[in-house]
Structure 1
């Protein structure tokens, strides 16, 4: 596995391409939207992109190809690494599905049960790896270079279609996986963005609008009362994970597990340390923290609760109030297992049997 195609030309794609290039992969990019077009054109012209990795010297990363034509970069890839927002996964799956070939690996980072979407359009026997969050954090700076400011210490993933030997090879050669999830929903519901992005923005809405860009969510938003809300959401989440036979874990314990080498520390101390080093933002309410994580994450979460008979009042409230804030119907337009399993008379028994 030496040829990798990154689907998505945003910060996540370039940041991880840097990591994969260091591990000896040949890197190509597929652009699927008009976002970050200036940086796309710069990299296409230069044939490389530049990276500052956590304060080190700037480095150049040369690439094989960067294109908007999937036929150029999908069929010959060993791994297709999808880094677009989950809002784009339906359209991306349609774009690349016809070009996928047997034994390729499609990695989705992060994922809200998106392997179920890609399977609908793949015309080949493809393996899937879904991640709950990204390995690195950072962003494109001034359409000029990539700045990496954080690396997670540990990663979890869900393998679909892999033998034990193939999992071991993948973890050794591509991304080391510290913990394997039992199914796509365990990965989806341990995605931290579904909790802190949505609750942090919703309950800071007036502050975000009033501050006009001077808002530091991780430093400001998570006061003791807001942490109470997160803990209540965790209780709902863990009831559903328990019903699905998955591993239960609180948001703050999960954050410590991902973010810090020393697991003997208090989870809240680790979170506060992470918050101090976090970036400013968001600067408006029409931001992916609501526009993506409410319809793709919370709506999916609520639909699973509906299918297996578990009430989710905190999640329901966040969806309803976020919809009112932005005048959007996130529940109606969001991801739902009732849509994914269209045509199935879905109930708890059928759903649990379906996910194994």
Structure 2
């Protein structure tokens, strides 16, 4: 039976994480008239917000022209998790995956019945939250889910190295793929998205797409397949961007300046390995045709500009022409495109490939190359593996039953 979620229309919204997506989501929800609280464990990321608020603007490109801009003064800025989430039945989390553990362990004691958790981008946060709830004895009746991406491509403006409280949206998604753990809550999870103003361009666009379990959402995250090959194989362009070519350091864009046909072919083969793993696991995953990878925005364009009646991208940015459509970054090998998308995204793909008997030579080569550039092994220097997510001991049927019905089998 579907839950009555009407209370989500007026409840406070707590946004956890004050990076680009966190600040943008918080400002977006506030400009839509909601009560919004912003939490960060970092005092620096909340600095001056009580005086400046958050200025939200930007191109906001999307197929249907949805736009919302303005200066948002939130109802609360805090480093106190309990203060942020008390009575806030909608919880949005948008932080780097490597910070999930700290945030989630602090969140569990503050959970209340009726809360709905949305994570942008999920990156296995939903599995970790359920794991910590089990470990900490929390039995609150909540809905936990996440999305394949964030509702925007957005950046915080930097002035001579100083981070301002101005966020600029490059594009707004018109469709995102989401799921929840367990999937028996999916109707309610999808319904709850209608109460999130930061999802308005999606719910008023082509609408959200239901993924096939949270494992599907791991494969639906386009960051590893786009970011990793383009960042690693285009590293000379990035490192020479200012030192040799004389450009402004922060103006480099992996999309605009790094992509080329050879890298796109590697991205497609990376994607094929993902598909093979998903098939072996018995779950669905998104479909992208070969030609969709050969654009300066790669397979990301359809997220905000959609597909035509033949299932092809409405907009393609040719690889043989200049383009300033892409977000900037990375500006060093210490960027999250490498330090997060390899030890989290690529590593979990590798481990799933090993578990389900699927070779992953392209994905493995990315892990090796990224590690070599950092003079370490990303196979070993990461906490991310299937046991860390709480699923390493399960066979295929047990894993699918847990994902779909919530029946967790303890490790013997």
Question: What corresponds to 1:152 in structure 2?
Answer: 173
Tell me the SS of whatever aligns to 2:387. Answer: helix
The answer to whether the 8 A contact 2:28-2:56 is kept is no
Aligned 1:1-356 pairs, distance under 5 A: 1=8, 2-33=11-42, 37=44, 40-46=46-52, 48-54=53-59, 59-122=70-133, 123=138, 124-142=140-158, 143-161=164-182, 163=185, 166-167=188-189, 169-174=191-196, 175=199, 176=203, 177-212=207-242, 213=249, 215-243=252-280, 244-250=282-288, 252=292, 255-264=300-309, 266-267=312-313, 270=316, 272=318, 276-332=324-380, 333-341=382-390, 345-356=393-404
CA distance in 2, matches of 1:18, 1:53: 13
Gaps of at least 5 residues in structure 1 are: none
C-alpha separation between the residues in 1 aligned to 2:341 and 2:114?
31
Distance verdict in 2 for CA 1:180–1:354, change over 3 Å: same
1:199 Cα shift? 0.7
Contact 2:91 2:115 in 1 (8 A): yes
- Alignment check: 8 A CA contact 1:300 1:334 kept: no
Measure the CA separation in 1 of the matches of 2:186 and 2:399: 26
| Cα drift, residue 256 of structure 1 | 4.2
TM-score between both structures, scaled by the size of structure 2: 0.78
Alpha-carbon distance in structure 1 between the residues aligned to 2:123 and 2:268: 21
Unaligned runs of 5+ in 2: 1-7, 61-66, 159-163, 243-248, 294-298, 405-412
Q: 1:276 to 1:60 in 2, by over 3 A?
A: closer
> SS of the residue aligned with 1:225?
helix
Does the CA contact (< 8 Å) of 1:338 and 1:346 recur in 2? no
Shift of 1:302: 1.0
Write the distance in 2 (CA, Å) between the matches of 1:121 and 1:87.
Answer: 15
How far did 1:132 drift? Answer: 0.8
Alignment size in residue pairs: 351
8 Å CA contact 2:14–2:91 kept in 1: the answer is yes
Deviation at 1:160, TM superposition (A): 3.1
CA-CA distance at 1:21 after TM superposition? 2.1
| More moved, 138-147 vs 196-205 | 138-147
Whole-angstrom CA distance in 2 between matches of 1:106 and 1:315: 30
1:184/1:270 CA distance change after superposition, 3 Å: same
The Cα shift of 1:348 comes to: 4.2
Provide the rounded CA distance (Å) in 1 between the counterparts of 2:283 and 2:317: 27
Distance 1:201 1:337, change over 3 A: same
Measure, in 2, the Cα distance between the counterparts of 1:272 and 1:209: 24
Determine helix, strand or coil for the equivalent of 2:100: helix
Q: Report the equivalent of 2:245.
A: none
Indicate the SS of the match to 2:92: strand
Q: CA RMSD in A?
A: 2.6
Q: CA deviation at 1:85?
A: 0.8
TM-score w.r.t. structure 1 length? 0.89
SS in 2 for 1:341: coil
Q: Secondary structure at the match of 2:308?
A: coil
Q: Deviations over 1:166-222 (max 9, x none)?
A: 245323322324210011111111111111111111101222222232533112222
C-alpha distance 275-193 of structure 1, shift in aligned 2 (>3 A): farther
* Inter-CA distance 276–179: structure 2 relative to 1 (3 Å threshold): same
Once the two structures are TM-superposed, the CA of residue 232 in structure 1 deviates from its matched residue by: 0.8
